[in-house]
Amino acid sequence: MHGGNLRRAQELYGLDSFIDLSANINPFGPPPGVWAALQKGMGDIVYYPDPESLALRKKLSNHLEQPKKTIMVGNGAGELIFTIVQALKPKKVAIPIPTFSEYERAARSVGAEVHYIPLGPEGWAKFNRRDGESENPRSEGDSDPIWSELLKGCDLLFLCSPHNPTGSVLEKDTFERILNLTKEIGCRILFDESFLDFLPDEDRHSARSYLAANEHLMVLYSLTKFYSIPGLRLGTVFASQSLIANFEQYRDPWSVNVLAQHAGITALEDSGFPDEVREKLRESRLYFYREFALAEFLDLKLWPTSVNFALIEVLNQTPEPLIQHLGRSGILVRDCASFAGLPGNFIRVAIKDIFVMQQLLEGLQGFLVNDKGGGNNAHS
């Protein structure tokens, strides 16, 4: 169901170490100061963590320009999703698919009816502004027939942008249409921006800027992925003060351990780290797309992405043989079979440093050359 399960991979392939492209984590590690902060914080593990994560919330408030009382932190975005849904207890939930499986699991944990909104492998490109359509967003009160029908009877909508697994971005005007409509019909939005920090400057527009005027909006933010601390787990939700107070009643007060709090504070203090990571990943992504195109993999299609992962469609056969070939070579990719609403055969790969992307390209090339005799693949 999820990537990044190294124990299972070790059991399956009999190897001790892997290049893990199955989880979308910044490959360059956390900011250097985090290591020192963890060492310094080791002395605090004999105490309970601050249940309010006050120092971390203050740092987040200053860093992201949000009032401290509108911030709640948790043990990763996954925990926060379940906490929020338990607090709201929605009756009917709308979920664009394919997407992160925990949205639906959380909804069904409270007995909510789940309504799917199919996106397909193109992701938000399906709903972003179409050719010839006005560039001006509709004003509040205007209706949107498509979304009015999609959200009929729903009291909670999950949105994810940058979208997992497609890497697509929900455009500002499209989001504003959805935001206005949901406000009219009384449907809350839980907007997941876990991959926002990976976007280039021109595309990095946060839904947090709409919070003050839209109390039905909640925004998830993850430090786990961009700051490369998945083993510590750290996520945040931004919402109105009244909603945060409600969520707090359903939260484990000690879910954010002392080391995670130290790491989060120190990571946010490194002002040069984000741009450095984005530039390295931009170079890797451009390299991978260029070399993939030059290799002319006739039975593989690489879908465009704006972030640190991408979909590869496996044509003319199931992806299992390719996944197993890569696994035996020490490369883990994400099997997308568990993503509901993704027609076809796909794998998802994380974008890491250029050397790693070279190894992935060699692994893909080796598989297609070895399998060519079977008549199912061609490589030129």
239 and 211 Cβ atoms separated by less than 8 Å: yes
Which residues form the domain of 334? 6-28+273-371
- Cα separation, 364 vs 293, in Å, equals 13
Both tokens assigned to 218 = 């909640």
Q: Are 157 and 305 part of one and the same domain?
A: no
140 and 181 Cβ atoms separated by less than 8 Å: no
The domain spanning residue 21 has which CATH number? 3.90.1150.10
For residue 132, is it within any domain?
A: yes
pLDDT digits (tens, 9 = 90+) for 252-276: 999 999 999 999 999 999 999 999 9
- The domain boundary residue, chosen from 221, 252, 269: 269
pLDDT digits (tens, 9 = 90+) for 212-246: 999 999 999 999 999 999 999 999 999 999 999 99
Q: Are 252 and 298 part of one and the same domain?
A: no
Whole-prediction pTM value?
Answer: 0.91
- Cα separation, 63 vs 58, in Å, equals 9
Whose tokens are 């933010």? That residue is: 221
Q: Are 224 and 364 part of one and the same domain?
A: no
Q: Are 230 and 316 part of one and the same domain?
A: no
The domain spanning residue 88 has which CATH number? 3.40.640.10
For residue 376, is it within any domain?
A: no
For residue 174, is it within any domain?
A: yes
Q: Are 254 and 343 part of one and the same domain?
A: no
For residue 204, is it within any domain?
A: yes
Whether residue 133 is predicted with pLDDT greater than 90 in this model: the reply is no
> Taking the CB of residue 169, how many other CB atoms lie within 10 A of it?
24
For residue 378, is it within any domain?
A: no
Q: Are 58 and 15 part of one and the same domain?
A: no
Q: Are 44 and 96 part of one and the same domain?
A: yes
> Taking the CB of residue 212, how many other CB atoms lie within 10 A of it?
12
* The pLDDT of residue 156: 98
> Taking the CB of residue 205, how many other CB atoms lie within 10 A of it?
17
For residue 379, is it within any domain?
A: no
Q: Are 40 and 19 part of one and the same domain?
A: no
Look at the chain and report how many structural domains it folds into: 2
Q: Are 242 and 303 part of one and the same domain?
A: no
Q: Are 141 and 229 part of one and the same domain?
A: yes
Residue 138 binned pLDDT confidence (cut-offs 50, 70, 90): very low
Q: Are 197 and 53 part of one and the same domain?
A: yes
pLDDT digits (tens, 9 = 90+) for 311-346: 999 998 899 999 999 999 999 999 999 899 998 899
For residue 153, is it within any domain?
A: yes
- The domain boundary residue, chosen from 235, 250, 269: 269
- The domain boundary residue, chosen from 237, 269, 301: 269
3-class DSSP state of 113 = strand
Q: Are 96 and 174 part of one and the same domain?
A: yes
For residue 377, is it within any domain?
A: no
Residue 139 binned pLDDT confidence (cut-offs 50, 70, 90): very low
